[in-house]
Amino acid sequence: MTPRQSTARQIFLPNHHPSDALLVAYGAGSLGEGLSLAVAVHLTHCPDCRAALAEVEALGGALLEDLPPAPLETLSLAATLDRLDREEAPANPCKALPSRLRLSKPNHVPTADTTPALPRPLRTYVPSLDGLPWQRLAPGVRRVELLPRTASGGAAQLLRIAPGTALPHHGHGGLELTVVLSGHFADELGRYGPGDLAEVDGETSHQPIADSHRDCICLIATDAPLRFTGLMGRLMQPFIGL
């Protein structure tokens, strides 16, 4: 896609997008939390996918309008109002962050050369990338867990990969979505930059490598554990969280 030039800075639109099936599942609300987060982050970068999602939602709304109305139980409204009166309003998610995800440098303002501004969907989980407690997984690879693996298999985390560093070769037990926040990585399927979404499934094996001069920071979400093929990957499996 042709880059667009703004008066303030050059903005590059994503070249890699979610599949139509993934956008439909997102619009229908059938994705897990981690996968939905990855799609939402991509959407903040991509006007084309936002337009496609609007069409999906409009079509879904039209289909719902054509459905016959379902009878409402007499006491349903009263029961719902009573439940709302008893439930407390949810706390601000940023204030409720676990201590391991709170910023260690809350007054530091990141620059364009250090950490990028976070897309709005990610700020529900971490207010900023600056000062996060990155956990070292291997030389050149650090992570911050956002969503621990659930009983259904879903998980999400941030990875920070130093230039020239390759992740272990691996396959997938299900769907894996990777959204680039900063830097670039390449694998057997292509090269990915800020805003790009890489979508791979159980049929795909690959080995991503950070191939630019700066750290590659990615959001990675899966709905099933990865399948590492090499010795190093199998040793890292208990710690990597995906």
Q: What percent of the chain has pLDDT over 90?
A: 44
pTM: 0.71
Residue-level length of the chain? 242
Q: Which domain CATH number covers 136?
A: 2.60.120.10
d(CA 29, CA 40): 12
How many domains is the chain built from? 1
Count CB neighbours of 87 within 10 A: 8
Residue 110 falls inside a structural domain? yes
Buried b (16+ CB within 10 A) or exposed e, 48-84: ebeebbeebeeeeeeeeeeeeeeeeeeeeeeeeeeee
> Domain for residue 225, yes or no?
yes
Residue 52 located in a structural domain: no
For 227-230, which contacts have Cβ atoms below 8 Å and span 24 or more sequence positions? 227/170, 227/171, 227/172, 227/173, 228/168, 228/169, 228/170, 229/168, 229/169, 229/170, 229/171, 229/205, 230/168, 230/169
Domain that holds residue 111: 100-240
Domain membership flag for residue 165:
yes
19 lies in some domain: no
Cα separations in angstroms, 138 against 121, 125, 142, 232: 28, 24, 7, 9
pLDDT at residue 112 greater than cutoff 50: no
Could you read off the pLDDT of 50-88 as tens digits, one per residue? Answer: 999 999 888 766 555 555 666 656 556 666 667 666 655
Give the pLDDT score at 238.
Answer: 55
Q: pLDDT tens digits for 129-158?
A: 888 999 998 899 999 999 987 776 689 999
Residue 8's pLDDT is: 40
Q: Tell me whether residue 66 is in a domain.
A: no
pLDDT at 92 over 70: no
- Section 118-129 average pLDDT: 90
